C-alpha cells in the first residue's frame, strides 16, 4: 500500500491537484481504444482514483503529505519563477517587505491552482478562491523567514567554506 499511496500522491502533487483527472483521462483513452465508452470510463476511473487518493491520505497521512508536497515543488518553482520575473518588471523590491509581497502573490497563486485541482467538478473555481488566502498568508510569512534563514546559513557557512577552499560565486552572493 505504501508505494501505491506514494505514487498517487506524487502524481497529484506534480499535477497541482489534478492527479486523479490525469490518471482517469489516460485510462479512459486506453479504454476507448478497446472500444469502451470513454466518458463512462473516465467517470469510473476518476471516482476510483479519488477514493484511493483519499484512502491513502487517511491511512498514511505523513507519507501522503510528504509525497504530494515534495512533488508540488517542481511546478511550484516554475510558478514562483514566473511571478518573480513579473514582480521584477513591476519594480517590486527584494527587501523584507518586497519578499513578503512576492511570497504572498506566489503562495496565493499556487494555492489557488492546487485548489481548483482539489475541488469537486462544478466547485473548482470556488475551491481555488477558498485556498488562495491561506496560500498568500503562508507565502507572505514564509518568504522573509526563509530569506533570513538562507542569509544566516550563508554567513555561518562562510568561514567553514573558506577553510576548505570553497567560495560563493557572484550569483550566490547576489541572491544572499
Tell me the per-residue pLDDT of 32-83, one tens digit each, with 9 for 90 and over.
999 999 999 999 999 999 999 999 999 999 989 999 989 988 898 889 899 9
> How many helical (H) and strand (E) elements, i.e. helices and strands, does the chain have?
8, 0
For the whole prediction, is pTM greater than 0.75?
no
Q: What is the pLDDT of residues 5-33, one digit of tens each?
A: 889 999 999 999 999 999 999 999 999 99
Phi-psi region of 168 (alpha: psi -120 to 50; beta: other; left: phi over 0): beta
Residues with Cβ within 8 Å of residue 135, at least 6 apart in sequence:
107, 108, 109, 110, 111, 112, 114
- The number of beta carbons lying within 10 Å of the beta carbon of residue 48 is 14
Nearest-angstrom CA–CA distance, 58 and 80: 30
Amino acid at each position: 500500500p505504501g508505494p501505491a499511496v506514494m505514487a498517487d500522491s506524487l502524481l497529484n502533487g506534480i499535477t497541482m491537484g489534478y492527479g486523479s483527472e490525469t490518471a482517469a483521462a489516460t485510462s479512459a483513452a486506453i479504454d476507448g481504444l478497446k472500444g469502451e465508452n470513454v466518458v463512462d470510463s473516465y467517470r469510473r476511473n476518476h471516482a476510483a482514483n479519488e477514493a484511493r487518493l483519499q484512502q491513502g491520505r487517511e491511512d498514511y497521512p505523513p507519507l501522503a503529505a510528504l509525497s504530494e508536497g515534495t512533488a508540488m515543488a517542481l511546478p511550484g518553482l516554475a510558478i514562483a519563477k514566473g511571478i518573480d520575473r513579473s514582480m521584477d518588471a513591476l519594480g517590486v523590491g527584494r527587501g523584507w517587505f518586497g519578499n513578503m509581497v512576492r511570497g504572498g502573490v506566489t503562495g496565493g497563486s499556487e494555492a489557488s491552482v492546487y485548489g481548483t485541482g482539489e475541488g469537486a467538478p462544478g466547485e473548482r473555481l470556488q475551491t481555488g478562491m477558498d485556498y488562495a488566502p491561506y496560500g498568500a498568508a503562508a507565502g507572505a510569512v514564509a518568504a522573509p523567514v526563509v530569506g533570513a534563514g538562507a542569509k544566516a546559513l550563508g554567513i555561518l557557512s562562510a568561514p567553514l567554506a573558506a577553510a576548505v577552499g570553497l567560495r560563493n560565486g557572484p550569483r550566490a552572493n547576489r541572491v544572499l
